[in-house]
Amino acid sequence: MPFPDEEAKLKSGRIGMVERLHILETLGKYTQEKYDEYLTQGASTYGYDLEKLKGSLKFVPDIGTFENSYYLQGKDEHWTDIANYFEYGTGLFNSKRAGKYRAGYIRPVIKEYMKFVAKDGRSVITGQVKGVHPIFAMTKAIKYIEFNRGILQRGIRLELAQNGN
């Protein structure tokens, strides 16, 4: 979206409910586009192929607070879990690479095996675990929109005024 001219004028007064909804939906779509962009950047940085996760960021506009609520939702529950997994990472990861584009594995140093409790409550005993770096694509996209909200909102309102809506 092009940024509005400084000379363009907006009518003063309160923003109507229909206009609020249109602004929130447009801001949500911009956030979804930024999410896909940041997802691609983060994936290429760490060597992941995350094309199937594009479009996982969803939003719900709230006209009363004039804000969008964002969440991750994939094609099904499995892809939603994967989207969250790559958004926040595993918390542990090996910074040394095991190849040009493969993330390294976490291996125990003191003992032969690692023992931990997984998120679903299962007890796991293993010799190595693959860690994932967090990408924070959703967080970055939301912060970008929040930082530029005034300019984007003005542009959306000018676009609406020009279209006569």
What's the rounded Cα separation, in Å, for the pair 135 and 88?
Answer: 7
Q: Where are the domains of the chain?
A: 13-89+133-165, 92-131
pLDDT the model gives residue 18: 87
67-98 per-position pLDDT tens digit: 999 999 988 888 888 888 888 877 666 665 55
16-57 per-position pLDDT tens digit: 888 889 999 999 999 999 999 999 988 888 777 888 899 999
Is the Cβ–Cβ distance between 40 and 46 less than 8 Å? no
- Evaluate if residue 61 carries a pLDDT over 70: yes
Reading the block at residue 28, the tokens are 């949500």
Q: pLDDT: is 131 or 5 the higher one? A: 131
Predicted TM-score of the model (pTM): 0.74
pLDDT the model gives residue 95: 61
pLDDT the model gives residue 84: 87
Look at residues 148, 134, 137, 144 and name the one whose alpha carbon lies nearest to residue 38: 137
Q: Which helix (H) or strand (E) holds 124?
A: strand 123-126
Q: Which helix (H) or strand (E) holds 27?
A: helix 17-46
Percent of the chain exceeding pLDDT 70 equals 81
Q: Which pairing describes strands 123-126 and 57-62: parallel, antiparallel, or unpaired?
A: unpaired
What's the rounded Cα separation, in Å, for the pair 78 and 131?
Answer: 18
